[in-house]
Amino acid sequence: MNGQCNNEKCFAEKEFADTEINFIKIGLEKGYDFLELPECNLGICGAVSQNCYVINAKGNIFKCLNDIAKDECKIGDVLHPLDCENEKFVEIFTRYQYNASNGLHQWVKKVLYTCKRDHMNVSMIEGCKSGYTSDAQHTLSSMINVNNHHYICVVGYSKNKDGYNHCTVNDTITLGNYVGSHYKEVNLLQSGNEVTKSSVSDGEKNKVAIKIDQDINIVLPNDYNEKDIEYKQKVKTFTAPVKKDQNAGKLDVYYKENKLGSYTLSTVNNVAESESVIMFRKIKNILIPCVITVFICIVVLLIVRQFIIKRRRRRRRRR
């Protein structure tokens, strides 16, 4: 199992898990009790400590000390929220087992495995890390999928009690269900919607329409008030000619003074130069060479005149 066996008859991880679950079910039906053996404490290694991370001098977050100089192995950084689109982050957070890049360190999460064995529906949780501290008690950091939206969920100070086992997982599922029933996705603007106009100088038109470049879909409370949504625009001004889809600035969206995101704006259409500007340019293109030519001719004539005057003076002196 675990991809470490050279015998082709060995189980893969999923096959072993399915077989073990069936074995336990049959045993329970026959009245057998199962005791889990104590596990060794491997907390000395950060890679096998499920609530341990390494932060380098740049603020990048890694799972293993051996990966600290490899930017491709980072799962996030301290200056920005963890990015669910970061491939490395998603890979680590959703895998049952993860090995460090040098293959010497690994961690294995058993939280979901034990919950599934107890017939809990944990399909909402795509990956998680458990931990324990004296202050926070039992904790669980997980990536959950609620209505096809990913959330980072962190629970702490969870406690088991009669009829309520796997406390951290149950707390996480409770929070996920709360989000699913009290929040919804709202389409505020669709890609291509005109949001404002911007001024254009030297153009056949003095305004150009500005559009949003992507759909703005936000997860908001079911009872949200549209008056609590605020749009702040930072729009550029233009000088003709203006091209269609030219970058025009950005739109910031706020909900109750909390910034939800920034979105790019672009121009809806082309704006050509005005006829007067075009005519002025043509005149300028004609006049400037003419003026330069006349100036050169005058300078040449003056030089020739001076030369002739000097020559006449010399002749007079000789006489």
Q: Report the mean per-residue pLDDT for the chain.
A: 79
Give CATH 2.60.410.10 domain extents, the chain.
190-267
At 128-152, the pLDDT tens digits run 777 777 777 888 888 889 998 888 8
pTM reported for the whole predicted model: 0.51
Beta strand ranges found along the chain (DSSP E) = 54-55, 60-62, 76-77, 97-99, 106-108, 125-133, 137-146, 149-158, 183-189, 194-201, 207-212, 216-221, 229-235, 238-239, 247-255, 258-267
User: Looking at domain 190-267, what is its CATH homologous superfamily?
Assistant: D-Ala-D-Ala carboxypeptidase, C-terminal domain (2.60.410.10)
Q: What is the pLDDT of residue 1?
A: 37
Q: Could you read off the pLDDT of 5-42 as tens digits, one per residue? A: 445 566 766 777 788 888 888 888 888 776 666 555 54
The highest-confidence range among 110-124, 153-167, 241-255, by mean pLDDT, is 241-255
